[in-house]
Structure 1
Amino acid sequence: MKNIAIIMGGYSSEYQISLISGKVVHRYLDQSKYTGFCIHIFKEKWVYVDADQKEFPIDKNDFSVTVNQTKITFDCVFNAIHGTPGEDGLMQAYFELLQIPQTSCDYYQAALTFNKRDFLSVLKPYGIKSATSYYLNKGDTIQTNQIVTKVGLPCFVKPNKAGSSFGISKVKTEAELPIAIEVAYQEDDEIIIESFLDGTEVSVGVINYKGEIIVLPITEIVSENDFFDYEAKYQGKSQEITPARISDEMTQKVGAIAKRAYELLKMSGFSRTEFIIVNEEPFMLEMNTIPGLTPESLIPQQATAAGISLTDLFTNAIELAL
């Protein structure tokens, strides 16, 4: 039996979703092969939480835990932290230093994909299209007329490094820009303002499954709200249709772009890339390297559609890491 540390929580607004993802991983872990440990990672404490909700502190020197005088070490870490420090490369670098295998991509890929601005810039020379964008750092002078001239209206104001649609606003008038920018600054000190793409939104899961990079069935996202925001993602305010209602040609095309991005960046583990298709052209929005793993989340839905059970999905991630 191998000991698997399932890390969950994190330091961002996404910690509650991460706790749900982590518990799902724990529930569906193959218990004939692995013993799962729920490890909560918060700014104020790193603890192992047992079945009785009792907490045992993690020794950060070697990422071990002592329970009833017995020291427990881990063969592999299953990373289920959305946002910092699990999705931005910090935990990946820490485990690399400790030489503990973990299920997500390496630290460089995590840091790059977590930074929407840098990620899209790296892929641009390969012909991968993205929205027209305008960048702001906290403290920059806000010139709303310049922003509107570049990206047009409506536009999206997003924190550069945050997930689950926290801090995102759809802006319809120039007067709304300063408010939206303030909202985004609550999540991050860098902002990306993007032109509005009016088209079909799809989410493409790409994983390494048994040593082969595969594209999972694609999900189309139809939000009841103005865009695929937090409510749409987690409170049922959207329809997620798998497989997406797009042509076979477009399925091939957008799948090939997502797979190419995965390969170009030398990714490993899970990835979920968002696109908006406008006039038969896919525009890439972002890539998530630790996508939600709740049963409602997109990657589990797509895996199920591909005939891959959650237990198989999680076993595969651990075996590849090992």
Structure 2
Amino acid sequence: MKNVAIIMGGYSSEYEISLLSGNVVYDNLDKSKYYPYKVHILKDKWVMVDDDENEYPINKHDFSVNNDGTIIKFDVVFNAIHGTPGEDGLIQAYFNLLGIPQTSCDYYQAALTFNKRDLLSVLKPYGVKTAISHYINLGDDINQAAILDKVGLPCFVKPNKSGSSFGISKVKTNDEFMPAIEKAFKEDSEILIESFLDGKEISVGVINYKEKVTVLPMTEIVSENEFFDYDAKYLGKSQEITPARISDKMTKKIADIAKRIYEVLKMEGFSRSEFIIVNNEPHLLELNTVPGLTTESILPQQARAGGITLPELFGNAIEQALKKQE
């Protein structure tokens, strides 16, 4: 029986969603194979939380916990932290130094994919199509006319490094541009401005399942809102249709691209890519390495459609992490 630390929370606006994801993992792990422990990693504390909500501080030197005189050490970490430090490479590097296997990709891949600008730059030479984009760092002079001439209206203004659509605006007029910039800078010191891609949005889960790179059934996202924002993602203001209503030919085309991205980047664990189909060509928006794992989240929906239960999905992630360590 392996001791599994399910880490959840994090330091970003996404911490509440992460706590939901972590609890779903806890509830669905096969208790005949694993001893799961809930570990909350928050700005002000790292604690193991038991079923009665008692908290036990984590020793950051070796990631152990003193549970009323018994020292618990963990064989493997299940990473359910969205945003920093779980999705940007920080926690991966920490566990790498401690020699504790964890379920998400390695620290370099996490840092790269978390930075939308750098990810798209790395993938462009491989023929992966993306929106027209412009980048701004905090403190840069902003030439609004030149930027909008390049990307056009409407456009999206988004933080370069954040998730769950925090800080994103769809800009339709010149007057909306600077307020959108200010909103994005509240989440990140780097901003990405992208042309609006008008087409069908498709979400693609790719995982390493039983040591084989597997593309899960795809999800078509139909948002009631202007775009797939926080409310659409988490408050039910969208339709998520799995499998997506696209042709077999388009399904294969997107699957090939998503699988190639996973392999080119040497990804491990879970990944979920977002594409928009424009003129019969899939354009990559972003790639998440710790996607939502609540029962309503897209990746679990896709796994179910592919005949994989949540205990199988989560157990497989742990087994793959342990095998990699060997």
Class of the TM-score when normalised by the shorter of the 2 chains: over 0.9
| Residue in 1 that maps onto 2:77 | 77
1:87 equivalenced with 2:108 (yes/no)? no
| Residue in 1 that maps onto 2:317 | 317
The AA in structure 1 aligned to 2:217 is: P
Instruction: Please report how far the alpha carbon of residue 245 of structure 1 lies from its aligned counterpart in structure 2 after TM superposition.
Output: 0.4
The AA in structure 2 aligned to 1:91 is: I
How is 1:246-261 mapped onto 2 (pairs within 5 angstroms)?
246-261=246-261
| Residue in 1 that maps onto 2:105 | 105
Q: In structure 2, what is the Cα distance between the partners aligned to 1:15 and 1:256? A: 32
Instruction: Please report how far the alpha carbon of residue 68 of structure 1 lies from its aligned counterpart in structure 2 after TM superposition.
Output: 1.0
| Residue in 2 that maps onto 1:278 | 278
Q: In structure 2, what is the Cα distance between the partners aligned to 1:193 and 1:297? A: 27
1:202 equivalenced with 2:193 (yes/no)? no
The AA in structure 1 aligned to 2:251 is: T
| Residue in 1 that maps onto 2:211 | 211
| Residue in 1 that maps onto 2:240 | 240
Q: In structure 2, what is the Cα distance between the partners aligned to 1:318 and 1:169? A: 37
| Residue in 1 that maps onto 2:294 | 294
| Residue in 2 that maps onto 1:96 | 96
Identity level (%): 72
The AA in structure 1 aligned to 2:269 is: G
1:225 equivalenced with 2:225 (yes/no)? yes
Instruction: Please report how far the alpha carbon of residue 147 of structure 1 lies from its aligned counterpart in structure 2 after TM superposition.
Output: 1.0
Q: In structure 2, what is the Cα distance between the partners aligned to 1:109 and 1:276? A: 23
The AA in structure 2 aligned to 1:11 is: Y
| Residue in 1 that maps onto 2:130 | 130
Instruction: Please report how far the alpha carbon of residue 174 of structure 1 lies from its aligned counterpart in structure 2 after TM superposition.
Output: 1.2
| Residue in 2 that maps onto 1:12 | 12
| Residue in 1 that maps onto 2:38 | 38
Q: In structure 2, what is the Cα distance between the partners aligned to 1:226 and 1:301? A: 23
The AA in structure 1 aligned to 2:68 is: N
The CA deviation string for residues 174-209 of structure 1, in whole angstroms up to 9 with x for no partner, is 111100000000100000000000000000000000
Instruction: Please report how far the alpha carbon of residue 143 of structure 1 lies from its aligned counterpart in structure 2 after TM superposition.
Output: 1.2
Q: What residue ranges of structure 2 are gaps of 5+ in the alignment?
A: none
How is 1:116-155 mapped onto 2 (pairs within 5 angstroms)?
116-155=116-155
Q: In structure 2, what is the Cα distance between the partners aligned to 1:14 and 1:146? A: 33
The AA in structure 2 aligned to 1:172 is: K
The AA in structure 1 aligned to 2:47 is: V
Q: In structure 2, what is the Cα distance between the partners aligned to 1:182 and 1:259? A: 36
Q: In structure 2, what is the Cα distance between the partners aligned to 1:279 and 1:122? A: 23
The CA deviation string for residues 11-50 of structure 1, in whole angstroms up to 9 with x for no partner, is 0000000000000000000000001100000111000000
1:172 equivalenced with 2:158 (yes/no)? no
Output the TM-score relative to the length of structure 1.
1.00
Q: In structure 2, what is the Cα distance between the partners aligned to 1:273 and 1:168? A: 18
The CA deviation string for residues 290-316 of structure 1, in whole angstroms up to 9 with x for no partner, is 000000100000000000000000000
Q: What residue ranges of structure 1 are gaps of 5+ in the alignment?
A: none
The AA in structure 2 aligned to 1:315 is: G
- Tell me the SS of whatever aligns to 2:194: strand
Output the TM-score relative to the length of structure 2.
0.98
- Tell me the SS of whatever aligns to 2:110: helix
Q: In structure 1, what is the Cα distance between the partners aligned to 2:243 and 2:314? A: 22
- Tell me the SS of whatever aligns to 2:129: coil
The AA in structure 1 aligned to 2:235 is: Q
| Residue in 2 that maps onto 1:52 | 52
| Residue in 1 that maps onto 2:184 | 184
The CA deviation string for residues 145-166 of structure 1, in whole angstroms up to 9 with x for no partner, is 0111110000000000000000
Instruction: Please report how far the alpha carbon of residue 238 of structure 1 lies from its aligned counterpart in structure 2 after TM superposition.
Output: 0.2
Q: In structure 2, what is the Cα distance between the partners aligned to 1:29 and 1:163? A: 26
Q: In structure 2, what is the Cα distance between the partners aligned to 1:219 and 1:114? A: 22
